[in-house]
Amino acid sequence: MVTKSILRSNNGKCPLWGVDVSVCGWYRETEDGTWVFLRAECPIIENSKLPRHAQEQKYELMFCNDRSTCPLYKEFQPRITEAI
């Protein structure tokens, strides 16, 4: 079985740091043709996982307090049934 996934992005300002970010959301197609949300990736969060010497300077030393309250994360729907 082939697994298909798509990427959608929510662009805006980080509410904590005020910098422009693009939060990417991954969806997987199910057998009935709907798309189910898998995960989201924020460049600030991903960058904060790296050692300081490997961090992208644009986001250096930034972190996320609580992604569950971030409006850019909350915009992703758990399920998408319409054609994308």
Give the pLDDT confidence of 7-34 residue by residue, as tens digits. Answer: 889 999 999 999 999 999 999 988 888 8
Mean pLDDT over 41-64 rounds to 95
10 assigned to some structural domain: yes
55 assigned to some structural domain: no
**CB-CB contact of 46 with 62 (8 Å):** no
64 assigned to some structural domain: no
- pLDDT value of position 2: 52
34 assigned to some structural domain: yes
Domain range for 39 is 5-43+69-80
49 assigned to some structural domain: no
**CB-CB contact of 10 with 26 (8 Å):** no
- 82: confidence class by pLDDT, cuts 50, 70, 90: low
Sheet holding 35-41, edge to edge: 5-13, 20-29, 35-41, 79-80
Angle at 73 between CA 23 and CA 3, to 5 degrees: 70
33 assigned to some structural domain: yes
Threshold 0.75, pTM exceeds: yes
Give me the number of domains the chain comprises. Answer: 1
28 assigned to some structural domain: yes
